[in-house]
């Protein structure tokens, strides 16, 4: 039985790599979908179209049990799209620094900050 397990070890390792790659692809596709939902209509049309196309490709690739190299390449593309979407402001709530006239950016004031002292006594 040990010899049989050793004989199939290489196959098991390949299967494990494929399953892990498909799981990662599915995870990144889900993250892209979630980010698109968060951005709503504020996402650029071309970014949204590319992301939706790649998510659809990811679903098809996982379902068809595509080769490992194809899964990894698609995962990489989706990660790049996700990174681009994460740097986009959600809902336009992000404040951009403004210039104060001398060429330097003025500090951004956050209204949610509370200045307080803490005493451990």
Does residue 40 form part of some domain? yes
Give residue 8's pLDDT: 85
Q: Could you give the number of structural domains in the chain? A: 1
Give residue 16's pLDDT: 94
Does residue 3 form part of some domain? no
Give residue 95's pLDDT: 42
> Measured between alpha carbons, how far is residue 3 from residues 8, 16, 61, 69, 76 in Å?
9, 20, 34, 30, 38
Does residue 60 form part of some domain? yes
Does residue 34 form part of some domain? yes
Does residue 33 form part of some domain? yes
Does residue 58 form part of some domain? yes
Give residue 4's pLDDT: 82
Give residue 54's pLDDT: 95
Does residue 93 form part of some domain? no
Task: For the chain of 121 residues, list the mean pLDDT of each consecutive stretch of 10.
Answer: 82 92 94 93 90 94 90 94 82 48 54 68 66
Give residue 74's pLDDT: 95
Does residue 116 form part of some domain? no
> Measured between alpha carbons, how far is residue 16 from residues 1, 5, 46, 72 in Å?
21, 15, 35, 14
């Amino acid at each position: 039985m040990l010899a049989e397990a050793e004989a199939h070890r290489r196959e098991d390792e390949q299967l494990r790599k494929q399953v892990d790659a498909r799981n990662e692809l599915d995870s990144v596709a889900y993250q892209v979908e979630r980010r698109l939902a968060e951005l709503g209509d504020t996402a650029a049309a071309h970014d949204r179209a590319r992301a939706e196309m790649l998510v659809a490709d990811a679903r098809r690739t996982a379902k068809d049990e595509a080769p490992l190299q194809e899964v990894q390449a698609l995962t990489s593309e989706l990660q790049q799209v996700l990174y681009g979407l994460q740097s986009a402001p959600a809902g336009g709530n992000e404040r951009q620094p403004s210039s104060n006239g001398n060429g330097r950016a003025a500090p951004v004031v956050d209204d949610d900050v509370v200045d307080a002292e803490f005493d451990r006594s």
